[in-house]
Chains A and B, each alone.
Chain A
Amino acid sequence: KQEVTQIPAALSVPEGENLVLNCSFTDSAIYNLQWFRQDPGKGLTSLLLIQSSQREQTSGRLNASLDKSSGRSTLYIAASQPGDSATYLCAVYDTGFQKLVFGTGTRLLVSP
């Protein structure tokens, strides 16, 4: 059974800091890994999608890496801003179960 873990559960940083969010998964049989952002009480916004054959993806200040063999992904946020405050979720699309399996999220607070 695929399990996805995110560390840390919560993170508080001052504006301008670079930060790394971690995601690990137990079964490497995945199609892809996706990072999402969720604002309180809202739906999920897709940030980055990394296919299983890729090593990283970049979008603006965000960079996500994938090491399928070790079951790890990181989301790097450069020069953090208060508007980055949200919960960040990673999810793997499992080839066995044919569905997205989500981590429990990292709640990020960026202070001005």
Chain B
Amino acid sequence: KAGVTQTPRYLIKTRGQQVTLSCSPISGHRSVSWYQQTPGQGLQFLFEYFSETQRNKGNFPGRFSGRQFSNSRSEMNVSTLELGDSALYLCASTTGQGTDTQYFGPGTRLTVL
């Protein structure tokens, strides 16, 4: 079975721009969660999508948004980028049951200049 894939792997943007990241979950998984990892804050939960609906949301500003398509692929969008948005963005997929293992992708490294 193919693992979780994320594209692109690396991105460099400037302040004020917007960016879209993509995550393809493991086949058969219906839940995709997004996390931001920074040296200062560690891993923080952004949001979770299950069957095209946002099921849970972390404590991030509205500039961070996402969506999920009918094939369970998910995209995350960040508008009006700030320097502090520089981070490793990770997505994880599960079947959607709270007791399941979460499988992570390799991440997208976003640098905001």
Contacts and interface: CB of A to CB of B under 8 A. Distances in A.
B42 A98 contact: no
Interface in A37-93: 41-46, 49, 51, 89, 91, 93
B43 interface: yes
Contact of B43 (A41, A45, A89): A89
Given A42-B107, A43-B90, A105-B42, A34 B56 contact: no
Contacts, number: 57
Given A31-B99, A42-B106, A95-B98, A100 B90 contact: no
B74 to A, nearest CB: 15
Q: Which of A49, A91, A100, A101 has the most CB of B within 10 A?
A: A100
Contacts of A42: 106-107
A36 to B, nearest CB: 7
B45 interface: yes
A34 B98 contact: no
Interface of B: 4, 6, 33, 35, 42-43, 45, 48, 55-56, 58, 88, 90, 92, 98-99, 101-107, 109
23 contacts: A31-B98, A31-B99, A34-B101, A34-B102, A41-B88, A43-B90, A43-B104, A45-B104, A46-B102, A46-B104, A49-B101, A51-B99, A93-B98, A98-B55, A99-B33, A99-B58, A100-B33, A100-B92, A102-B35, A102-B42, A102-B43, A103-B42, A105-B42
